[in-house]
């Protein structure tokens, strides 16, 4: 499993996939948005790798979560920051791990509150499957099937690395 979690290789695959998807769609000036926290670290890295000139944005989806009333507010909530308009923009939405699809749903709801984008390309470093909602990434660094007692965690930001964690059975 360690070879599958080599961060440089995952980042290379994610970058290559994004370049291909942008070319296929004819997108030349995307706006990049990372979902806090891991997605923000990835937005920083991918912005540099893709040579994007515009600052990237960051979302804190805490208020958009569908379990907000059940679990309450994360004590580390910070305001979202989008230094550009999303109206009619081609957006790259990036996060570290996709599993149920609920985080991505919340992020898209928040993006639409800022304006209606022309398109959204969803990029994730790792796809764990296990969807509860019909949300699929357009680009992913790696698809992994984990056992129920395993978790993947992106650590960073400097250095950025990814861990496979074992939890209680």
Q: How many domains does the chain have?
A: 1
C-alpha closest to that of 121 among 14, 10, 5: 14
Task: Of 5-14, 44-53, 62-71, 152-161, give the lowest mean pLDDT range.
Answer: 62-71
- Residues 36-76 have pLDDT tens digits of 999 999 999 999 999 999 999 999 998 887 765 555 555 57
Question: In terms of pTM, does the model score above 0.85?
Answer: yes
- Order of strands across the sheet that contains 119-127: 57-59, 31-35, 90-98, 119-127, 139-143
* In contact, 141 and 124? CB cutoff 8 Å: yes
Range(s) of the domain holding residue 148: 3-166
What pLDDT is recorded for position 63?
81
Report d(CA 158, CA 169) in Å as an integer: 31
CA of residue 133 relative to chain centroid, distance: 16
> Looking at residue 66, which CATH number applies to its domain?
3.40.50.2020
Report d(CA 160, CA 154) in Å as an integer: 7
């Amino acid at each position: 499993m360690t070879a599958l979690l080599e961060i440089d290789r995952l980042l290379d695959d994610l970058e290559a996939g994004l370049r291909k998807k942008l070319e296929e769609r004819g997108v030349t000036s995307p706006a990049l948005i990372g979902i806090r926290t891991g997605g923000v670290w990835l937005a920083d890295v991918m912005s540099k790798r893709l040579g994007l000139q515009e600052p990237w944005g960051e979302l804190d989806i805490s208020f958009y979560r569908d379990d907000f009333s059940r679990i309450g507010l994360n004590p580390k909530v910070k305001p979202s920051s989008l230094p550009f308009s999303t109206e009619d923009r081609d957006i790259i939405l990036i996060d570290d791990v996709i599993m149920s699809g609920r985080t991505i749903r919340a992020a898209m709801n928040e993006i639409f509150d800022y304006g209606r984008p022309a398109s959204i390309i969803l990029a994730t470093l790792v796809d764990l499957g296990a969807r509860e909602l019909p949300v699929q990434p357009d680009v992913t660094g790696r698809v992994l099937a984990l056992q129920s007692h395993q978790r993947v965690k992106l650590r960073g930001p400097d250095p950025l690395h990814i861990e496979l964690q074992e939890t209680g059975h």
